[in-house]
């Protein structure tokens, strides 16, 4: 089983570095971390410098332990106003500077979310964390109502010279605490049961950005992977249009495909998964309406290809041990029908 999909991807897809930001909140965090590390390094050098100077200059003169030099008391200093003032004022000043820059960074990272309005090119998505996958409810884009649901791969538009295209996420949880973290786009923000958080990012770099749930949430926490696909604006429009459509219906003349669909609808799959436009209405698992348009399965764990889809449906516990989808021990013919139907969900 291939668990190292990320390691096999192109360089840009593997990039999880906070030092290569592609969005204003991530840039603000990197600048702050450089500044704090710089100040800390300066303090370290000063303190260690004084320490080594003192060690070298005042080291024991050696010789007899009872000699007059070693027995003599060092000069006794009873305070110095200048030094007292200096070592109170300097740290206070440093802390004050840090408070100011941290406040400014918070300001940039936690931008107040504006009301959607036409012409703002802003995307609003509600993210719901589940053990161990991500649900995305597309609310609106450029003040157009969307209202469809997808899972695990978040598509967003890239900003360009003509306009910024900010993405505002509303973060919720269906079960336990999770944390949304795509290091190149923004800092971590938790998804907390019974509480709503918000975050934002925007980028002018099309491509795939990866991330990871950053709050321990159970057995498969480490495999609760994030993929954010940044599309060119035109491409994003096409994606939106396609995702908003209900599931593809098998052609009237294609008896095999219709049988496969009928067989799928009789399985327990429909209790947990929704396929829009059909009687599959479950809400516990990921929406499957356009399953085949996704690059990966099982929240980014394996590539979405015929072979892995079969392994996943046959026994999810082999692919993602502990995940909440059980193996239904389908008969080979049932498995074939389910796979055949899923493959039509383009
Ligand atoms: Cu979800 Cu860790």
String of DSSP letters for 205-221: --EEEEEE--S--STTG
Ligand 1 atom nearest to CA at 213: 2
Q: What is the mean pLDDT of residues 286-311?
A: 92
Ligand 1 atom nearest to CA at 216: 2
Cβ-contact 87, 93 below 8 angstroms: no
Cα distances (Å, whole numbers) of residue 65 to 59, 143, 154 = 14, 84, 73
Q: What is the mean pLDDT of residues 124-153?
A: 95
Instruction: Tell me, in angstroms, the distance from the centre of ligand 1 to residue 265's CA.
Output: 31
Spatial separation of the C-alpha atoms in residues 346 and 341, rounded to whole Å: 10
Stated length of the chain: 346
Instruction: Tell me, in angstroms, the distance from the centre of ligand 1 to residue 179's CA.
Output: 6
Instruction: Tell me, in angstroms, the distance from the centre of ligand 1 to residue 172's CA.
Output: 12
Among 211, 218, 153, 213, which residue's Cα sits nearest to residue 178?
A: 213
Q: What is the pLDDT of residues 214-231, one digit of tens each?
A: 999 999 999 999 999 999
pLDDT of residue 13: 67
Spatial separation of the C-alpha atoms in residues 79 and 63, rounded to whole Å: 31
pLDDT of residue 1: 41
Picking from 66-80, 199-213, 305-319, which range would have the lowest pLDDT averaged per residue?
66-80
pLDDT of residue 12: 58
Q: Is the CB of 215 under 6 A from ligand 1?
A: yes
Cβ-contact 171, 129 below 8 angstroms: yes
Residue 35 tokens, joined: 């500044």
Spatial separation of the C-alpha atoms in residues 131 and 137, rounded to whole Å: 17
Atom 1 in ligand 1: which residue has the minimum CA distance?
178
Question: With pLDDT > 70 as the criterion, what percentage of the chain qualifies?
Answer: 96
Cβ-contact 247, 275 below 8 angstroms: yes
pLDDT band at 7 (very low <50, low <70, confident <90, very high): very low
pLDDT band at 111 (very low <50, low <70, confident <90, very high): confident
Sequence-distant (6+) residues with CB within 8 A of 317 are 323, 326, 327
Question: With pLDDT > 90 as the criterion, what percentage of the chain qualifies?
Answer: 76
Picking from 35-49, 50-64, 92-106, 200-214, which range would have the lowest pLDDT averaged per residue?
50-64
Beta bridge partners of residue 137, listed in sequence order:
126, 149
Cα 8–9–14 angle (5° rounding)? 105
| 3-class SS of residue 330 | coil
Q: What is the mean pLDDT of residues 3-14?
A: 55
Sequence-distant (6+) residues with CB within 8 A of 137 are 125, 126, 127, 128, 147, 148, 149
Determine if residue 247 is left, alpha or beta; phi over 0 gives left, psi from -120 to 50 gives alpha, anything else beta.
beta
Max CA separation in the chain (angstroms): 110
Cβ-contact 257, 251 below 8 angstroms: yes
Cβ-contact 148, 246 below 8 angstroms: no
Q: Is the CB of 130 under 6 A from ligand 1?
A: no
Residue 119 tokens, joined: 């012409």
- In 174-249 the beta strands, taken as DSSP E runs, fall at 178-180, 189-191, 197-201, 207-212, 225-231
Instruction: Tell me, in angstroms, the distance from the centre of ligand 1 to residue 177's CA.
Output: 7
Among 294, 242, 288, 243, which residue's Cα sits nearest to residue 264?
A: 288
Q: What is the mean pLDDT of residues 169-189?
A: 96
Q: Is the dihedral of CA 106, 112, 118, 122 positive or negative?
A: positive
pLDDT of residue 99: 96
pLDDT of residue 60: 78
Q: Taking all residues of the chain, what is their mean pLDDT, rounded to a whole number?
A: 91
Spatial separation of the C-alpha atoms in residues 301 and 7, rounded to whole Å: 11
């Amino acid at each position: 089983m291939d668990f190292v999909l990320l390691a096999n991807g192109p360089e840009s897809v593997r990039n999880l570095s906070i030092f290569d930001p592609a969005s204003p909140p991530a840039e603000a965090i990197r600048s702050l971390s450089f500044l704090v590390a710089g100040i800390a390094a300066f303090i370290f050098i000063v303190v260690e410098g004084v320490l080594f100077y003192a060690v070298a200059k005042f080291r024991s003169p050696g010789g007899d332990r009872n000699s007059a030099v070693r027995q003599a008391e060092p000069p006794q200093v009873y305070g110095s106003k200048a030094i007292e003032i200096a070592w109170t004022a300097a740290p206070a000043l440093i802390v004050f500077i840090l408070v100011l820059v941290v406040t400014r960074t918070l300001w940039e990272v936690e931008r107040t979310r504006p009301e959607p309005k036409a012409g703002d090119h802003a995307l609003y998505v509600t993210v719901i964390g589940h053990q161990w996958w991500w649900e995305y409810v597309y609310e609106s884009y450029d003040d157009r109502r969307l209202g469809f649901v997808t899972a695990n791969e978040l598509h967003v538009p890239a900003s360009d010279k003509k306009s910024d295209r900010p993405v505002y996420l509303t973060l919720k949880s269906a079960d336990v605490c999770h944390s949304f973290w795509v290091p190149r786009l923004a800092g971590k923000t938790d998804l907390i049961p019974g509480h709503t958080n918000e975050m934002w990012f925007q980028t002018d770099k099309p491509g795939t950005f990866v991330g990871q749930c950053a709050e321990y949430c159970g057995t498969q926490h480490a495999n609760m992977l994030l993929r954010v696909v940044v599309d060119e604006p035109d491409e994003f429009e096409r994606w939106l249009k396609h995702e908003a459509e209900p599931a593809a219906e098998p052609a009237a003349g294609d008896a095999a495909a219709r049988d496969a669909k009928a067989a799928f609808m009789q399985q327990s799959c429909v209790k947990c998964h929704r396929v829009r436009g059909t009687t599959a209405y479950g809400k516990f698992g990921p929406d499957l309406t356009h399953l085949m348009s996704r690059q990966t399965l099982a929240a980014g764990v394996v590539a979405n290809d015929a072979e892995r889809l079969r392994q996943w449906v046959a026994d999810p516990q082999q692919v993602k041990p502990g995940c909440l989808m059980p193996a239904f021990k389908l008969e080979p013919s049932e498995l074939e029908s389910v796979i055949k139907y899923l493959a039509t969900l383009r």
